[in-house]
Structure 1
Amino acid sequence: MSANSAETAAPMDVVLVKAGRTKIRYPAELLHDDGSRITVRAAWAGEGVRDFGFVRFEPGDVFTEHYWRDRWYAVKEVRDKQGRLKGWYCDITRPATVSGSELVVEDLDLDLWRSADGTAVLRLDEDEFAASGLASRDPEAAAAALSALDELELLAKGGNFEALLH
């Protein structure tokens, strides 16, 4: 299934699960699903402004989010309300699943930020990941998560990062 215009974009809910509970659910438009990669577009779903120090997410921001059924990460392109690229926020997750009109993703705490110009690549939340206990509960998943973070970091620092999204 592929949707490329507003007339054909299908509504979908993105459900982000963390530690067995729904962390956030928000509406999105399904733009593309080729059986492996799923792309949706959504407005910033957080409350007000979230300032990370290296980027601010705020009302009016638009996220084009790429999820995979066979990869342990999601890549979210972030643009401001004028359409200017802020960068890419990447979540390390279990592979995505789709059930009806729900896209379900389990967040594994690790994140990566890549600035719009590619000069800043930041590994985030490694302390949260260590504290989550995933390494002892599910060592295979923890290893897959760390491997996915390493892969994204290499791509973000000079590999073919943007090719992931096309």
Structure 2
Amino acid sequence: MRAVTSEVVRVRLVKAGRTKIGYPARLLSDDGTHITVRADWAGDGVRDFGFVRFEPGDVFTEHYWRDRWYAIKEVRAGDGTLKGWYCDITRPAVREDAGDGAAGDIVSVDLDLDLWVSADGSRVIRLDEDEFAASGLAGQDPPAADAATRALDELERLARDGDFESLLR
């Protein structure tokens, strides 16, 4: 694993062909397959999902893979307390080269499905399945839709079996 502690990259989360949000993150490692970055909560103010609140001061350690259909974000409060893991079902990540010596972007294409795993593993919640169905991906790109549903099922199974954190090593 190539560890990089001072390089800053830009994470771009893309949904429906447009950048939903972009933010700077410190590159922790990139072994050619698994990319790990750390970033502060990039949203405006507090986002309360009911089962977790993302808020200023929260720190996200984000894991992206070039060969997996998900990204996992470990969420910690500003005091270091683990809140849990937010998992985005995505196309495999791409790291774009800026071409001018800059670090470039990590691009993650969101496929609408998500999973929340609480810090103690007691809550495993599938999210946004209605958005996924409404996206039309199953009709437009059946192999991608199949890969997305398989990825969500795999993450949920690992979380419920207590093997979830093994993905992050």
TM-score band w.r.t. shorter chain: over 0.9
| Corresponding residue for residue 2 of structure 1 | 2
| Corresponding residue for residue 168 of structure 2 | 165
Q: Which runs of 4+ in 1 moved over 6 A?
A: none
Q: Is the 8 A contact 1:69 1:97 kept in 2?
A: yes
| Corresponding residue for residue 138 of structure 2 | 135
Deviation string, structure 1 residues 57-98 (Cα, Å, up to 9, x no partner): 000000000000000000000000000000000000000000
TM-score by length of 1: 0.96
CA apart distance, 1:2? 2.2
Structure 1: segments with no counterpart, 5+ residues:
none
Deviates more, 1:92-101 or 1:154-163: 154-163
TM-score by length of 2: 0.94
Deviates more, 1:154-163 or 1:21-30: 154-163
| Corresponding residue for residue 41 of structure 1 | 38
Q: Is the 8 A contact 2:90 2:110 kept in 1?
A: yes
Structure 2: segments with no counterpart, 5+ residues:
98-103
Deviation string, structure 1 residues 108-142 (Cα, Å, up to 9, x no partner): 00000000000000000000000001001101100
| Corresponding residue for residue 120 of structure 1 | 123
Calculate the aligned-residue CA RMSD, in Å. 0.9
Deviates more, 1:93-102 or 1:154-163: 154-163
Distance in 2 (CA, whole Å) between partners of 1:9 and 1:70 is 25
What is the percent sequence identity of the aligned residues?
72
User: What does 1:16-27 correspond to in 2, within 5 Å?
Assistant: 16-27=13-24
Q: For 1:105, which of 105, 108, 118 is the aligned residue?
A: 108
Partner SS state of residue 157, structure 1: helix
Partner SS state of residue 87, structure 2: strand
